[in-house]
């Protein structure tokens, strides 16, 4: 089996480009073309349609891609097994987290971990929690520290770490800040800035508010809580934010019987073995946080 050819095929499929695949593999474009051509010769079929500068998978390429991805995953798995036998805490640690957790929860831990294990190379990616879970299902990362899904997901192990209460927040001079005994009906009269539809956090908010108050005037949606917080601080609308994000320029708007919270924690694939580096990171993570529950 020509492993480099399979890896080149995967990268061309991922990027739709031989030149971008070459950049990802740190080799020349002719080398990528040669590897893919060799694979096509071995299989006796063409794998891509060349349309202008874009390489598009054809029927054969689409059929081969999941097999090639499994081969690549098996190669990584075999390397982890060998590294674990050596007992070394070193090498690459693919970790994915959300922007909020990466900025608000992990910096101190990452600093401690990097000092304790200098031979571990953190491959840290930031993305929405929903996308992160999808990537973990596909085996692209060993661990994720994200907002946990509201329901169990097949092949994913979910470990709660933090209970993260959400509260209605606005600037101090917002009309809601000067009212007492605010109802959901009153809240709905003012513009809202919320996480994007379909995100775990938006689902939590909708379950608490929209099931009782059917309509909200949402003037802005974004996946980034830091952006939402900044927009709320301008006074153009209220939002539901983690209580940990409320400081001097925002105030909490209490609403009777409104309770919202999400759970932050660890996500990992149930069928994927962990490297020594991942095990060390999990141990460091558990030692630095108070588990939810």
Query: Does 290 have pLDDT greater than 70?
Result: no
- Per-residue pLDDT of 97-132, as tens digits, reads 999 999 999 999 999 999 999 989 998 999 999 999
**98 vs 213, residue with greater confidence:** 98
Domain holding 232: CATH number?
3.40.190.10
Lowest mean pLDDT among 31-45, 60-74, 163-177, 205-219: 205-219
The answer to whether the pTM exceeds 0.85 is no
Query: Does 88 have pLDDT greater than 80?
Result: no
| Domain-terminating residue out of 84, 116, 141 | 84
60 lies in the same domain as 138: no
209 lies in the same domain as 271: no
Q: Indicate whether 176 belongs to any domain.
A: yes
| Domain-terminating residue out of 31, 59, 84 | 84
The predicted pLDDT at position 229 comes to 95
Q: Indicate whether 293 belongs to any domain.
A: no
| Domain-terminating residue out of 68, 84, 100 | 84
169 lies in the same domain as 231: yes
The predicted pLDDT at position 292 comes to 44
143 lies in the same domain as 201: no
Q: What's the domain count of the chain?
A: 3
Domain holding 13: CATH number?
1.10.10.10
SS3 string, the chain, reads: CCHHHHHHHHHHHHHCCHHHHHHHHCCCHHHHHHHHHHHHHHHCCCCEEEECCEEEECHHHHHHHHHHHHHHHHHHHHHHHHHHHHCCCCEEEEEEECHHHHHHCCHHHHHHHHHHCCCEEEEEEECCHHHHHHHHHCCCCCEEEEECCCCCCCCEEEEEEEEEEEEEEECCCCHHHHCCCCCHHHHCCCCEEEECCCCHHHHHHHHHHCCCCCCCCEEEEECCHHHHHHHHHCCCCEEEEEHHHCCCCCEECCCCCCCEEEEEEEEEECCCCCCHHHHHHHHHHHHHCCCCC
180 lies in the same domain as 255: yes
The predicted pLDDT at position 257 comes to 87
172 lies in the same domain as 250: yes
In the chain, % of residues over pLDDT 90: 63
251 lies in the same domain as 269: no
- Per-residue pLDDT of 161-182, as tens digits, reads 999 999 999 999 999 988 888 9
Residues spanned by the domain of 200: 163-262
The predicted pLDDT at position 87 comes to 67
Over residues 70-76, the mean pLDDT reads 81
């Amino acid at each position: 089996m020509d492993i480099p050819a399979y890896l080149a095929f995967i990268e061309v499929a991922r990027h739709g480009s031989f030149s971008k695949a070459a950049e990802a593999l740190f080799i020349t474009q002719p080398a990528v073309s040669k590897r893919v051509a060799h694979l096509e010769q071995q299989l006796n079929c063409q794998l891509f349609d060349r349309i202008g500068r874009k390489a598009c998978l054809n029927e054969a390429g689409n059929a081969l891609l999941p097999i090639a991805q499994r081969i690549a995953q098996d190669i990584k798995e075999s390397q982890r097994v060998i590294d674990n036998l050596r007992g070394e805490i070193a090498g690459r640690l693919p970790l994915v987290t959300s922007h909020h957790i990466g900025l608000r929860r992990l910096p101190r831990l990452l600093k401690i971990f990097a000092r304790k294990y200098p031979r571990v190379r953190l491959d840290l990616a930031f993305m929405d929690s929903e996308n992160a879970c999808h990537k973990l299902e596909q085996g692209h990362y060993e661990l994720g520290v994200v907002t946990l899904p509201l329901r169990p997901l097949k092949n994913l192990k979910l470990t709660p770490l933090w209970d993260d209460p959400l509260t209605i927040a606005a600037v101090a001079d917002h009309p809601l800040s000067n009212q007492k005994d605010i109802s959901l009906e009153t809240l709905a009269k003012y513009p809202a800035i919320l996480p994007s539809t379909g995100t775990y956090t938006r689902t939590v908010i909708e379950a608490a508010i929209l099931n009782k108050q059917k309509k909200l005037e949402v003037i802005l949606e974004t996946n980034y809580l830091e952006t939402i917080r900044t927009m709320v601080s301008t006074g153009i609308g209220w939002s539901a934010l983690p209580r940990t994000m409320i400081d001097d320029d925002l105030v909490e708007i209490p609403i009777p019987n409104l309770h919202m919270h999400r759970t932050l924690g660890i996500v990992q694939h149930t069928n994927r073995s962990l490297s020594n580096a991942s095990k060390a990171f999990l141990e460091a993570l558990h030692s630095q946080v108070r588990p939810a529950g």
